């Protein structure tokens, strides 16, 4: 019997690329698709793709995608047979899973009992220990006093990791190297855990040196069958957030895979697991993967962001499997039937600025183009003209490459990233391409600290001005300036509009032999010089060398006369300098105006007007996309002004604190 006969309709209780991805499979299987959206997503791609869509609240996730009551209300009114929660939001909320069941709606996920058992890291570790699964040494108990946790960290031995017990995606996770850093890290982890997951409790565990992050994709059905679908290596991380994932794991042996797969499936069986889940392990990578050198970290009771690499090597559609299991069907295959072909890698393309500490970036996507071709898959939830908002995860797309070998897959990924065009928000596109091309990553060994150790070589620090990109934009701006002037002149001839491109009009572009062109480049004043000869124009930028460049420069029009020049994955914003729009605070040169680095929520202010501060002292914390960003004093001084109130929203570039001498 077709799935659509058992589950004729599906409500996707999520947004963005995962909502699009679920909708594609559901439509292929003949299900009626129902989307829910916040005010910020009213025009989103997933809303357009769905057969039906219903508004569930304002932009804030707490008032929309995390509001279980309104989502269930829409599900009942729309006649949804099942709800797919995607990942994040309500996907690991046991109460929501139970509420679905009580309402007679199938929850596409594990039973609530399994979510509860594995949903809190401390309880999960205690549970899998009973199933003889190795766990990382640490404290996973109920006592949450700061003094007690500090003492436990001392007992375990530094470095340690503080983790929100309900955490995920790196939120609420802090590495602590020294005792004097513990209190601030604990407070930050508790705040992030509370804000992102509604639970401030933490655990403390030993930080494994040279760690590899290897996870096993498991799948269970309601008949007691549990299999694993090979492993994924997610060791390329930054601040505990995955950047590039791959399958299979480099250096994996049959012996280690068997041991790790057995541990993962035993953990799943221990909680009566049904559906898609991931058991995550930390491995000591100093001497390669070993059967006795890995430990359980946590189990994610949902589909993972990186599931496409598993689909690529196994040929399985994991969302289809989820729906079949939710419809009461058996898996239909055994462990011996699961095979892997080739190698797959996935890069997470984010709206963030690697040159500014990976700060989230927001704004309109003025241009967005992805490559096509053999072995390339793009999962995205946005298209050109959409806006990346500060309210949700800043992922633009997942770029996935599959090939017969690992090196071929990395080559294919690097080419795909090089052919990707994104204009508007800053992105990590150039950074990802350098990662895919990095010899250290290609040849190994590597671990979760690889990115931090190689941050400079990967371009994740302030870079010199891209003179070639500026030159291309300068020529375009000057051509448009001259054309506008000729158009105005044409309109004045005989009081009628005449085209400067018509020969009969006797108009032509008549450039000066040498022109100085004042520009604003990424907010800084730059003077360009343009020289013409009979056939061409040449741009020079005093103090900067303009290279020929190996890649084509793409120009995309932004807002208010700005051109976004895209070159080798980097973006440079160029416009004509307007002396009447100068930022007077920035022009003061005092270095005393501390501004919000991105649009977000001001969650803490640590100073008041009149207070003396020293360089590096914490002044405020801005939260954006569920992550905290600490603002510190750039120099010694006295606070002369505090703008904003804790709990309020701040725009990117908004003044937060002003320092005087």
Contacts of 10 (CB under 8 A, 6+ apart): 22, 26, 31, 32, 33, 34, 80, 81, 82, 83, 84, 108, 323
Q: 227 and 265 in contact (C-beta within 8 Å)? A: yes
How long, in residues, is the chain?
A: 661
R_g of the chain, CA atoms, integer Å: 27
Q: From CA 471, how far away is CA 519, in angstroms rounded?
A: 10
Contact 417, 401 (CB under 8 A): no
The SS3 of residue 298 is strand
DSSP-assigned beta bridge partners for residue 233: 214, 246
Residue 62, SS3 per DSSP:
helix
State the helix-helix crossing angle for 254-270 and 121-130, rounded to 10 degrees: 110
Nearest to 196 by CA among 174, 165, 175: 165
Catalytic residue, chosen from 302, 348, 412, 568, is 302
Buried b (16+ CB within 10 A) or exposed e, 39-75: ebbeebbbbebbebbbebbebebeebbbbbebbbebb
The contacts of residue 534 (CB under 8 Å, 6+ apart) are none
Q: How many other C-beta atoms are found inside a 10 Å radius of the C-beta of residue 475?
A: 18
d(CA 111, CA 92): 10
In 210-255, where do the E strands start and end? 211-220, 226-238, 241-247
Which is nearest to 148 in space by CA: 202, 206, 72? 202
Neighbours of 383 (CB within 10 A): 12
- Rounded Cα distance between 8 and 33, Å, is 9
- Classify burial at 320, counting beta carbons within 10 Å of its beta carbon; exposed 0-12, middle 13-18, buried 19 or more: middle
The set of residues, in sequence order, having a beta carbon less than 8 Å from that of 148 and lying 6+ positions away, is: none
What angle separates helix 94-102 from helix 68-78, to the nearest 10 degrees?
Answer: 30
The verdict on whether 302 is a catalytic residue reads yes
Concatenated DSSP letters for 553-565? PEEEE-STT-EEE
Q: Tell me the two tokens of residue 132.
A: 């003889």
CA gap 481, 496 in Å, rounded: 21
269: left (phi over 0), alpha (psi -120 to 50) or beta: alpha
242-268 per-residue burial string, b: 16 or more CB within 10 A, e: under 16: bbbbbbbbbbbeeebbebbbebbbebb
Residues designated as active site? 302
């Amino acid at each position: 019997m077709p799935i659509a006969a058992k589950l004729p309709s599906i409500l996707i209780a999520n947004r963005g690329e995962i909502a699009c991805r679920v909708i594609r499979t559901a439509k292929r299987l003949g299900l009626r698709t129902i989307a829910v959206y916040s005010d910020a997503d009213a025009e989103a791609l997933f809303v357009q793709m769905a057969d039906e869509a219903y508004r569930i609240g304002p932009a804030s996730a707490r008032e929309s995608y995390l509001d279980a009551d309104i989502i269930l209300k829409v599900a009942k009114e729309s006649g949804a047979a099942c709800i797919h929660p995607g990942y994040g939001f309500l996907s690991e909320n046991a109460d929501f899973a139970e509420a679905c069941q009580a309402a007679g709606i199938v929850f596409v996920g594990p039973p609530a009992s399994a979510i509860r058992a594995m949903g809190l890291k401390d309880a999960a570790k205690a549970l899998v220990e009973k199933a003889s699964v190795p766990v990382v040494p640490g404290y996973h108990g109920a006592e949450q006093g700061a003094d007690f946790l500090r003492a436990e960290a001392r007992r375990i031995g530094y470095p340690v990791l503080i983790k929100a017990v309900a955490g995920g995606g790196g939120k609420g996770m802090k590495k602590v190297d020294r005792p004097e850093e513990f209190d601030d890290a604990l407070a930050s982890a508790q705040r992030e855990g509370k804000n992102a997951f509604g639970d401030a409790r933490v655990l403390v565990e030993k930080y494994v040196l040279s760690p590899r992050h290897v996870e096993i994709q498991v799948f269970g059905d309601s008949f007691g069958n549990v299999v694993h679908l090979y492993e994924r290596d997610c060791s390329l991380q930054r601040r505990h957030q995955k950047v590039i994932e791959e399958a299979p794991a480099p250096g994996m042996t049959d012996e280690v895979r068997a041991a790790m797969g057995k541990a993962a499936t035993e953990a799943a069986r221990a909680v009566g697991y049904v559906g898609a889940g991931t058991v995550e392990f930390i491995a000591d990578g100093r001497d390669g993967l070993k059967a006795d050198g890995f430990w359980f970290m946590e189990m994610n009771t949902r589909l993972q962001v990186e599931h496409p690499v598993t689909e690529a090597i196994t040929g399985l559609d994991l969302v289809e499997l989820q729906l079949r299991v939710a419809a009461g069907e058996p898996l239909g295959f055994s462990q011996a039937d699961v095979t892997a072909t080739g190698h797959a890698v996935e890069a997470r393309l984010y709206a963030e600025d690697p040159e500014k500490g990976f700060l989230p970036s927001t704004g309109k996507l003025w241009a967005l183009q992805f490559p096509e071709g053999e072995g390339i898959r793009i999962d995205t939830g946005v298209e050109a003209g959409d806006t990346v908002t500060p309210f949700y995860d800043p992922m633009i797309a997942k770029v996935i490459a599959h090939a017969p070998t690992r090196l071929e897959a990395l080559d294919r990924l690097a080419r795909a990233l090089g052919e990707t065009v994104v204009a508007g928000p800053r992105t990590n596109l150039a950074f990802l391409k350098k990662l895919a091309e990095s010899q250290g990553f290609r040849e190994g060994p590597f671990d979760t600290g690889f990115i931090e150790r190689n941050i400079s070589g990967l371009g994740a620090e302030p870079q010199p001005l891209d003179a070639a990109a500026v030159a291309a934009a300068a020529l375009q701006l000057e051509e448009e300036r001259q054309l506008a002037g000729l158009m105005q002149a044409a309109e004045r001839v005989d009081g009628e509009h005449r085209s400067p491109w018509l020969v009969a009009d006797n108009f032509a572009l008549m450039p000066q032999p040498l022109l100085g062109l004042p520009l604003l480049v990424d907010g800084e004043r730059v003077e360009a010089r343009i020289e013409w000869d009979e056939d061409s124009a040449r741009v020079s930028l005093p103090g900067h060398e303009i290279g020929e460049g190996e890649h084509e420069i793409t120009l995309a029009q932004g807002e208010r006369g700005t051109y976004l020049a895209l070159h080798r994955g980097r973006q440079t914003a160029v416009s004509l300098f307007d002396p009447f729009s100068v930022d007077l605070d920035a022009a003061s040169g005092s270095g005393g105006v501390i501004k919000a680095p991105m649009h977000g929520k001001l969650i803490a202010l640590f100073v008041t007007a009149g207070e003396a501060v020293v360089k590096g002292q914490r002044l405020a914390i801005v939260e954006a996309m569920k992550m905290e960003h600490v603002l510190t004093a750039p120099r010694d001084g006295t606070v002369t002004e505090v703008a904003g109130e804790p709990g309020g929203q701040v725009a990117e570039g908004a003044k937060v604190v002003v320092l005087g001498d």
